[in-house]
A and B are shown apart, each in its own frame.
Chain A
Amino acid sequence: MFFVRVSYYIRKALSNLRAYPLVTGLATATVAFCVFIFCAYLLFLINVTGLLTGVGKTVHLAVYLSDDIDEKQIEEVKDAIISIKEVSEVTFTSKEEALAFLKESFGEQTGVLEGIEDNPLPASFEVALVEGGQTPENTKLVADKIGRMKGVDDVVYPREWLTRFNEFVRFVRAAGVAVGLILSLAAVAVIANTFKLIILSRRQEIEIMKLVGATNSLIKMPVLIEGMLVGLFGSAAALLGLVFLFSYFMDHFYETVSLFVGPVVPAFFSPVMIAAVIGASTLLGIVGSLLSFGRLLKV
Chain B
Amino acid sequence: MIRLHHVYKNYGGGTDALIDITFSVARGEFIFLTGPSGAGKTTLLKLLYLAEHPTKGQVFINGVNVSTIRERKIPYLRRAVGVVFQDFKLLNSVTVSENIAFPLEVMGMPRRDINKQVMRVLKFVGLQDKYDAKPLELSGGEQQRVAIARAVANEPPILIADEPTGNLDSELTMDIIRLMNYIHKRGATVIMATHNKDIVERFHKRLISLGRGRIVG
Contacts and interface: CB of A to CB of B under 8 A. Distances in A.
B51 A211 contact: yes
Contacts of B98: 15
Contacts of A273: none
B75 interface: yes
Given A4-B108, A218-B106, A19 B79 contact: no
A205 B107 contact: no
A263 B154 CA distance: 72
A208 B76 contact: no
Given A1-B108, A299-B51, A19 B83 contact: no
Interface in A193-236: 204-205, 207-216, 218
Contacts of A208: 89, 91, 102
A170 interface: no
Interface in A1-42: 1, 4-5, 7-8, 11-12, 15, 19-20
Contacts of B107: 213
Contact of A213 (B72, B106, B109): B106
Nearest to A12: B105
A215 B94 contact: no
A205 B76 contact: no
Given A211-B49, A215-B75, A205 B83 contact: no
Which of A1, A210, A212 is most buried by chain B, counting CB atoms within 10 A of its CB?
Answer: A212
B103 interface: yes
A211 B89 contact: yes
A52 to B, nearest CB: 54
A215 B108 CA distance: 11
A212 B77 CA distance: 10
A299 B75 CA distance: 11
A8 B79 contact: no
A215 B105 CA distance: 11
Nearest to B94: A19
Given A19-B93, A299-B51, A209 B102 contact: yes
Interface string B99-140: 000110111111100000000000000000000000000000
Nearest to B104: A212
A212 B150 CA distance: 9
A215 B70 CA distance: 13
Q: Is the interface of A mostly helix, strand, loop or mixed?
A: helix
A212 B93 contact: no
Contacts of A216: 72, 75
B78 interface: yes
How many chain B residues sit at the interface, stated as a range, is: 20 to 34
Contacts of A5: 108
Interface in B58-109: 72, 75-79, 83, 89, 91, 93-94, 98, 102-103, 105-109
Contacts of B109: 4
A218 B79 CA distance: 14
Contacts of A4: 108-111
Nearest to B78: A213
Nearest to A212: B103
Contact of B106 (A1, A207, A212): A212
Contacts of A215: 72, 75, 106
A215 B73 CA distance: 9
Given A1-B108, A5-B108, A8-B108, A212 B78 contact: yes
B114 to A, nearest CB: 10
B93 A211 contact: no
A213 B79 contact: yes
Nearest to B156: A213
Contacts of A299: 51
A87 to B, nearest CB: 67
A214 B107 CA distance: 8
Given A212-B106, A215-B72, A218-B106, A204 B78 contact: no
20 contacts: A4-B108, A4-B109, A5-B108, A19-B93, A20-B93, A207-B89, A208-B89, A208-B102, A209-B106, A210-B78, A211-B78, A212-B83, A212-B106, A213-B76, A214-B75, A214-B106, A215-B72, A215-B75, A216-B72, A218-B75
The 7 closest A-B CB pairs, nearest first, are A213-B79, A213-B78, A212-B103, A214-B106, A215-B75, A213-B75, A19-B93
Interface of B: 49, 51, 72, 75-79, 83, 89, 91, 93-94, 98, 102-103, 105-111, 150
